């Protein structure tokens, strides 16, 4: 279990911006061997849980470090990440909608 990843997912509720949710979706993230999170976005709220993923609309599978780099602005996902198999997703464009649904607080 990665505490930084856990902190990110548990903190999503505070960053949720329902005005940016265009479509209700269920997202599932597999981050390395030990991290699995599911996030349901509706136009009113988000629900986060460890594990799950059955029936998810959007899947993301990739290394935990890459997820952290993307989240912290050190890497921007591009076609190469998907074409090389570093990251797998059934709907890469919907991942942008996920990011838009959350406001990152400025430190």
pLDDT at 105: 41
pLDDT at 34: 87
Q: Could you tell me the two tokens for 40?
A: 């349901």
Q: Does residue 40 sit within a domain? A: yes
Q: Domain containing 79: what range?
A: 3-100
Say how far apart CA 51 and CA 38 lie, in whole Å: 6
Q: Does residue 106 sit within a domain? A: no
Instruction: Name the pLDDT band for 7 (thresholds 50, 70, 90).
Output: very high
Give me the residues paired with residue 29 across strands: 37, 60
Q: Does residue 65 sit within a domain? A: yes
pLDDT at 2: 87
3-state helix/strand/coil string of the chain: CCHHHHHHHHCHHHHECHHHCCCCEEEEEEECCCEEEEEEECCCCEEEEECCCCCCCEEEEECHHHHHHHHCCCCCCCHHHHHCCCCEECCHHHHHHHHHCECCCCC
Torsion of Cα atoms, 29 then 88 then 82 then 98, to 10°: -30
Domain count, the chain: 1
Q: Model confidence over 28-86: pLDDT tens digits?
A: 999 998 899 999 999 999 999 999 989 999 999 999 999 999 988 899 999 999 999 99
Q: Does residue 93 sit within a domain? A: yes
Say how far apart CA 41 and CA 49 lie, in whole Å: 12
């Amino acid at each position: 279990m990665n505490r930084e990843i856990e902190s990110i997912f548990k903190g999503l509720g505070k960053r949720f911006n329902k005005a940016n949710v265009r479509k209700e979706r269920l997202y599932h993230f597999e981050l390395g061997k030990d991290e699995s999170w599911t996030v349901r976005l509706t136009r009113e709220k988000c629900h986060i849980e460890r594990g799950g993923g059955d029936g998810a609309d959007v899947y993301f599978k990739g290394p935990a470090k890459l997820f952290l780099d993307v989240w912290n602005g050190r890497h921007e996902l591009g076609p190469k990440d998907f074409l090389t198999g570093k990251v797998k997703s059934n709907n890469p464009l919907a991942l942008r909608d996920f990011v838009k649904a959350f406001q990152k607080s400025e430190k």
